[in-house]
Structure 1
Amino acid sequence: MLDISKIRAITLDLDDTLWPIAPVITRAEDVLAQWLDAQAPGAAAIFRHPEQRAAVREAVVQSRPDLGHDLSAIRRESIRLALQQAQEDTDLAEPAFDVFFVERMRVQLYDDAGPALALLAAHYPLVAVSNGNADVHKVGLGQFFRHALSAREFGHAKPDARIFHAGASAVGVEASEVLHVGDDMSLDVLGALEAGMQTVWLNRTDHAWHHAAQPHATVTDLMELCNLLGLEA
């Protein structure tokens, strides 16, 4: 059960917690393929084919385990490999990634996310802790967060306890004084539990819980979290 009296800060996941990520990535990949059509049609064909696109990404993941925490680098190197396979100019990898990244920052918040962030930020310091490559400032949410930690910049990804502990340190509190909120059972909930935090599982789609360890609470949206914490607009 959640002990609200101990909470001095909140860390939040981003993708699939504040916005759905699948439509964002689908649109960004379409925009990337359209850009490549004119610049490198061979690579564009690879990215338009889901199995070929997945195979290129997997080849990068397997050959560059050092990039496992950095989704931007994996994406950039996937573009570079597709260009190489198509015998096209690999120097296009950087501008192509820039095209993808701009579109990746165009997110559509869940309806509850904006009002809930405003309410949460009025009562607690908020820290974004994400394995993804979204930038809270570029997506228009920077005003709500005291700090933002990404696996790409930090060098370690959830569920590694170090990134959770860094989130606590960023606002000067102990891990036991932090509530972590996220949608992923393993990366968010189990990772934060292992790091010594209280956790809330954001279960928007009625998934079943599959682990022995339990979150301190489960909510279906972020306004339900605000209500659980006793916050009022």
Structure 2
Amino acid sequence: MNISVISFDGDMTLWDFLKVMRHSLQHALTELQKHVPTQRALQLTIDEMIYIRNQFADEVKGRIWNLEDIRKQAFEQTLEYVGYPDKELAAHLNTIYRKHRFGDIELYPDVIPTFDVLAPHFTLGLLSNGNTYPERCGLEDRFAFVVFSQDVQVEKPDPRIFEFTAQQAGCELSQMLHVGDSLVNDVAGAQNVGISAVWLNREGVANDTGIRPDYEISSLIEITTILGLERRK
């Protein structure tokens, strides 16, 4: 295996996005209910807020790429849903959400140890459909290249974002290894352009798809064994 570059997905690969997202929405929901103490607002749930946001994101897909803009407008729609349209309050809720969303991120415990082993041997990069930039999660100076779908307006599993990433990394597609938690976005997306793919399956879920990763791991540190770093010492 002639690998010189490793790209990593972000959400649910390097940090628990769902955990910090729900945690941040809870803070926003608590604030919303302070300002809008109506029955409908008091009955609002985090799952409903997620549904409203995702529905709006689907509606504007391909037209609005900035995820923070989408989140802010989703708060506006949430307030309309509870019968209290107020753009200033939506902006306030968005500020609270962002404070916790980017301030309370916790890396998985295997991230830094894995990077410490890989960094002397490989060029490392971040390839994400999200918006958690390295400086927002304590990973500044850890990546040689960073590619976010909202910046290039193409998202995984589109082949173009993988090809663009290889260009940014300065390597051939065959020299890249991509690591991520999504069989569709990460594994199939990478394999479709000739990049080897590692499926990070932290929860040990069954793969009932036709997608077959080149490697499957349950912890990032297992990459060091796949790449034979022990033999390099």
Question: More deviation in 88-97 or 190-199?
Answer: 88-97
Question: More deviation in 103-112 or 156-165?
Answer: 103-112
Deviations 1:153-206 (A, max 9, x none): 121111011111121111211112110001111110000001220111111121
Which residue identity does 2:59 align to in structure 1?
A: S
What is the SS of the residue equivalent to 2:74?
helix
Which runs of structure 2 are paired with 1:1-233 in the superposition (5 Å)? 3=1, 6-41=2-37, 45=41, 48-50=44-46, 52-67=48-63, 70-85=66-81, 86-105=83-102, 106-231=104-229
Which residue identity does 1:30 align to in structure 2?
A: Q
Kindly indicate whether the alpha-carbon contact (under 8 Å) linking 2:25 and 2:46 is maintained by their aligned counterparts in 1.
Answer: no
Q: Which runs of 5+ in 1 are unaligned?
A: none
For the residues of structure 2 that align with 1:110 and 1:50, how far apart are their CA atoms? 24
Could you tell me the TM-score, scaled by structure 2's length?
Answer: 0.87
Report the Cα offset of residue 46 of structure 1.
7.3
For the residues of structure 2 that align with 1:155 and 1:108, how far apart are their CA atoms? 27
Deviations 1:187-231 (A, max 9, x none): 100000012201111111212223334221111111111122122
Distance 1:47 1:134, change over 3 A: farther
Could you tell me the TM-score, scaled by structure 1's length?
Answer: 0.87
For the residues of structure 1 that align with 2:46 and 2:216, how far apart are their CA atoms? 34
For the residues of structure 2 that align with 1:229 and 1:173, how far apart are their CA atoms? 18
For the residues of structure 1 that align with 2:143 and 2:38, how far apart are their CA atoms? 41
For the residues of structure 2 that align with 1:160 and 1:190, how far apart are their CA atoms? 10
Q: Which runs of 5+ in 2 are unaligned?
A: none
Deviations 1:134-163 (A, max 9, x none): 111111011211122111112111101111
Give the count of matched residue pairs.
Answer: 229
Kindly indicate whether the alpha-carbon contact (under 8 Å) linking 2:107 and 2:137 is maintained by their aligned counterparts in 1.
Answer: no
Distance 1:142 1:43, change over 3 A: farther
Which residue identity does 1:149 align to in structure 2?
A: V
Distance 1:42 1:158, change over 3 A: farther
Identity of aligned residues (%): 30
For the residues of structure 2 that align with 1:216 and 1:43, how far apart are their CA atoms? 52
Kindly indicate whether the alpha-carbon contact (under 8 Å) linking 1:43 and 1:88 is maintained by their aligned counterparts in 2.
Answer: no
Aligned-residue RMSD, C-alpha: 2.5
Which residue identity does 2:135 align to in structure 1?
A: H
Which residue identity does 1:97 align to in structure 2?
A: N
Report the Cα offset of residue 56 of structure 1.
2.3
For the residues of structure 1 that align with 2:121 and 2:183, how far apart are their CA atoms? 26
For the residues of structure 2 that align with 1:46 and 1:182, how far apart are their CA atoms? 37
